[in-house]
Amino acid sequence: MVQIGYTMMTEQAGPRDLVAHVVGAEEAGFDFSVTSDHYFPWLASQGHSPNAWAVLGAAAQATSRIPLMTYVTCPTTRYHPVLVAQQAATLQLLSQGRFRLGLGSGENLNEHVVGHGWPGVSVRQEMLEEAVFIIRALFAGDLVNHHGTHYDVDHARLWDVAVPAPPIGIAVSGERSCRLAGSAADLVIATEPKRELLEAFDRHGGAEKPRIGQLPVCYDTDHGAAVERAHEQFRWFGLGWKVNAELPHDASFASASASVTKEQVAEGIPCGPNVDRFVEAVRAFTDAGFTEVALVQIGGGHQEPYLEWARRELLPALRTL
């Protein structure tokens, strides 16, 4: 049976609301949760971007059952890998073993803020691979001295080591990232229901490991209002990750998505109160081979009715997949 997750989307709600929402998701019966890790929202209309790690620390204390996960953290530019390892180990201890560390090569939108520039995709993949090596060594409790292509680590160790260490997931979009995920990760992360990504992950050592997808949805009793909100806040989603990884500012995303219509958004994102439409969208992931799907309810101020509807109608319907 597919596991259904809840997304704390930091781009659309403040920190106290995010924690309250994941408490509600635990009470509603979601199987796990994930948290975005942004410095900027995609569009100004989303209006938020608190620190994900502070939110996760509060969520670890406010919940007792629901697993937590970054979806995803970029450990290469805005954060040094040694800092990511320390944060992740601490979250694993605070949550008593409920934390998974999702990693990816990042987006210019969030990483440009430290002024180090934005390298090409091949360099970003090299940086991610080296970062994962460093994080794994620190998770093991080793004293780490590392002088690599992209990072230096001088006499670092974790004094509070989590046992077991947080499982590491790696986000994939092509053959190279699937090779890294298959060989170096405990699970794979993707935002599109593409079977070929999972097949590549399996070829490189990922067989039998969990595979997690993510799906934006927009529940509302008024279908038209749901489409309007999804278009206002999430029309960037259809640009694709080759574009999304490169644009530097929320204004860039607004400009790039200016010609996206409401009809196009409604075609790609389940909107309104029809539970069957949501089930079919999740089925695309399960048919591709995903074992877990995290849903993103669009609109920070529209979480409570969504959580109640999910408890009452959506989650029971998805349990049949």
Separation in Å, CA 188 to CA 31, 181, 289: 17, 6, 11
H, E, C per residue of 135-166 = HHHHHCCCCEEEECCCCEEEEECCCCCCCCCC
Q: Are 169 and 212 in contact (CB under 8 A)?
A: yes
Cα–Cα dist 5/13, whole Å: 18
Side-chain half-sphere exposure of 215, counting CA atoms within 13 A = 29
Contact 12, 43 (CB under 8 A): no
Minimal CA–CA distance to 8: which of 87, 83, 128, 102?
102
Q: 73 pairs with which residues across the strands?
A: 103
pLDDT value at position 241? 85
| Residue that is written with structure tokens 């699970």 in the block | 187
Q: At 313, phi and psi to the nearest 5?
A: -125, -50
Is 107 designated active site?
yes
Q: Outline where the chain has alpha helix (H).
A: 15-28, 52-62, 81-94, 108-111, 121-139, 175-184, 195-201, 223-234, 241-244, 250-256, 262-268, 275-288, 303-309, 315-318
Cα of first residue to Cα of last residue in the chain, in angstroms, is: 6
Distance between CA 71 and CA 319 in Å, rounded? 23
Residue 310: what are its φ and ψ, rounded to 5°? -65, -45
- Rounded average pLDDT per 10-residue block, the chain, 321 residues: 97 98 98 98 98 98 98 98 98 98 98 97 97 98 98 98 98 96 98 97 98 98 98 95 95 97 97 98 98 98 98 97 94
Catalytic entry in 11, 21, 26, 38: 38
The catalytic residue among 11, 26, 107, 130 is 107
Quick check: 98 and 60 in contact, CB under 8 A? Answer: yes
- How confident is the model at residue 116, as a pLDDT? 95
